[in-house]
Structure 1
């Protein structure tokens, strides 16, 4: 059997493991899926993960669960059966199994809290007996034709690797300065009901990470909250049927030009607030927006002074602003995982990319199966697949389709002598993936 290692035991790992479990029940051999996780299943949906206090509401509808959109193209002539079997792990199935379904319906199908969503993912993982190797990965190397994930106590070898999650939430502009909070520090205080009391607060970031923290910060005794982002204003995410369908069904996504795709992502996903959060923020006159990118930060005279760079036409202007407290909500680093790569793994990646490693170059190299083209053993990067394959893959919008793409890939490296896969478990057909 081939083995797929997943870095992180979040929603994407659970979705792929659940689909593999169902396919195995149908008498077909999928790859073994093993998640390598430092904390626990769905940790980032709890306060312990550093990205939330667990009490805020899920922005995506919970019906977009591990099987959504239930339109599999993985097992020829048996895809309807596959989808039906996957409904056993749906959000509704979880509510029924835990005696919560009628209450959820009677309350108008409210969005679950992050903690409740994490409980759902843990329920799925437990039902499928998901394999989790506990430990923090400190190095990822290439061992012959396989990946080697090294933790302090163990080494996990795999024929393919999928990287998930936003990385760590502890980074800040000024590490160690008590007047600059990381995302993790902010949510830790929120979870402990430690109120932030300050006159002038700056929130760096214009995306959903910053929006969730702003929503929490509204209930704290602060005088002014300045949101700093490079956009000209705080945009609202498009949430009509037409925008949402781009996330659920990327069939025509690749027919768009690269610029059209970038425009669509900018309008619906990157650096935008959900309409529900915007409605709440509009009513709070303490919140204002300041355009610019943080070029420099320094602690001085009991303040944090931020130097902002703003492009105006053909020139960049710099201005300095002082704050009593700064919250660094700029969000994830798209290439956070590369710091774990050994030099041979970095060389392999750059060789496959045909040039130096960079976010744009990497995004444009993501293929149909959500893996980096030209790299063997396979490296799946769904969080970077939005530009090339569809905006739903980096988030929760099409987990069932994501698992199809990954499990439908040819995981084993190609035998260069014979030209045939060393383990031809999965093969790409013309318009969809099929398991052999």
Structure 2
């Protein structure tokens, strides 16, 4: 039986891996059976139902950076052997069947999109594209919310066990995707403090109205909410972020190439990589959002991290901590409405890990799980090094492998690396002489989650 790769979440990365696996399967290449465990639906986070958007805002990345981009496959098996010449090119050609342009042609939208000047699609349209790809490649999606991740040791080699309320999915490799839960906020339960999901729910009902509004966060999640706030009855909007100002994301050719082509990234020092990430990806606004900010005089910026939040006198008082000249200074500020747009949490999955899984990872890392330790241990295949079974963390792979892997910038390269990884010891990926791979169903143990 083929090894199984389980994916938590059925978003863009999961769809890209499933599509690439399907095409390799057609080419007679043994690849893992890909199964996604999804609590809502394919590409749900790009729809209003996912809580991260209202679905109407524009995609920040070019839609041509689709599930096959940059169409420069270098799949390990196809690089070796007498049949290697032209096979990666064949794989790229097959992946164009799942491209953004193919979707537009199939749905009768291509000419209009060209005539309108290739506009960025809405988040909702992007989700429709991803669902179209998932349907075309017959993506295997199990409906359910993962409540616990454990290690199953009953087989010859350890496997991951993803527990939902109804079953446990056993897999030889596990990929964690998604930004986490949009329901979290710094002061849960207070109607004057909104999580990301609560913000979009209130915005859809046109229930956003306040004198002094604070938005916590300096990344694209906060930026999309600022774009929405401009349309509502608010007097002042204060953006709170740790940066000295609201930086604009670099979007020129040279910056973009860092995302599309990670060649040479590993030759940079860690300091150089962190500097590049800070300038182009983390805590920065797109040029389009910055242009909108310039035209609205209600916007101001406060530097600092929120150290404490308390409800007092019909207001929310935030205590900001700022390092100035080596000293930690704290200042208090009052707001009528606070929106926690601090964005994605790369470690959102850690509370799901059972004690056996935690022990396995901490033993492999040589210490407790932290964002820094996990980032530094991610190898070329986007999995933690020296950990069996394989745990793929593309959302944390930017520092060691390149800034495009955590986002939508090189999904084709991401799928190559993950599918080209050996999931089971002594069971590498091999190419069959001819014919299509036999379909197999991932092993699913029907047992209640513990």
Aligned partner of 2:305 in structure 1 is 293
User: Does 2:91 match 1:82?
Assistant: yes
User: Does 2:28 match 1:27?
Assistant: yes
Summarize deviations over 1:323-382 as a string: whole Å, max 9, x none. 000000001122110110000000101111111111101000000000001110000000
User: Does 2:197 match 1:184?
Assistant: yes
Q: Is the 8 A contact 1:303 1:323 kept in 2?
A: yes
Summarize deviations over 1:294-319 as a string: whole Å, max 9, x none. 00000010000000011001101110
Aligned partner of 2:128 in structure 1 is 119
| The one of 83, 95, 107 aligned to 1:98 | 107
**Other structure's SS at 1:411 match:** coil
User: Does 2:60 match 1:59?
Assistant: yes
**Other structure's SS at 1:228 match:** strand
**Other structure's SS at 2:190 match:** coil
User: Does 2:60 match 1:48?
Assistant: no
Q: Is the 8 A contact 1:68 1:397 kept in 2?
A: yes
| The one of 333, 342, 354 aligned to 2:345 | 333
Aligned partner of 2:428 in structure 1 is 424
CA distance in 1, matches of 2:92, 2:345: 34
Q: Is the 8 A contact 1:410 1:426 kept in 2?
A: no
Aligned partner of 2:445 in structure 1 is none
CA distance in 1, matches of 2:337, 2:126: 31
| The one of 202, 215, 218 aligned to 2:227 | 215
The CA deviation at 1:426 is: 6.2
User: Does 2:253 match 1:241?
Assistant: yes
Equivalent pairs counted in the alignment come to 418
The CA deviation at 1:96 is: 0.2
Aligned partner of 1:11 in structure 2 is 12
The CA deviation at 1:187 is: 1.0
CA distance in 2, matches of 1:426, 1:383: 28
CA distance in 2, matches of 1:188, 1:261: 37
Give the TM-score normalised by structure 1.
0.95
Summarize deviations over 1:49-76 as a string: whole Å, max 9, x none. 0000000000000000000000000123
Change in 2 beyond 3 A, CA 1:202/1:426: farther
| The one of 138, 145, 151 aligned to 1:142 | 151
Give the TM-score normalised by structure 2.
0.92
Summarize deviations over 1:8-27 as a string: whole Å, max 9, x none. 00000000000000000101
The CA deviation at 1:254 is: 0.2
User: Does 2:279 match 1:257?
Assistant: no
Aligned partner of 1:165 in structure 2 is 178
CA distance in 1, matches of 2:429, 2:166: 31
Q: RCO greater where, 1 or 2, for CA within 8 Å and sep 6 or more?
A: 2
Summarize deviations over 1:202-242 as a string: whole Å, max 9, x none. 00000010000000111100000000000000000000000
Summarize deviations over 1:96-124 as a string: whole Å, max 9, x none. 00000000000000000000000000000
**Other structure's SS at 2:211 match:** strand
**Other structure's SS at 2:149 match:** strand
Q: Is the 8 A contact 1:227 1:290 kept in 2?
A: yes
CA distance in 1, matches of 2:99, 2:429: 27
Unaligned runs of 5+ in 1: 415-420, 428-436
Unaligned runs of 5+ in 2: 432-450
Change in 2 beyond 3 A, CA 1:125/1:332: same
**Other structure's SS at 1:167 match:** coil
CA distance in 1, matches of 2:98, 2:202: 34
CA distance in 1, matches of 2:430, 2:127: 31
Aligned partner of 1:200 in structure 2 is 212
**Other structure's SS at 2:334 match:** strand
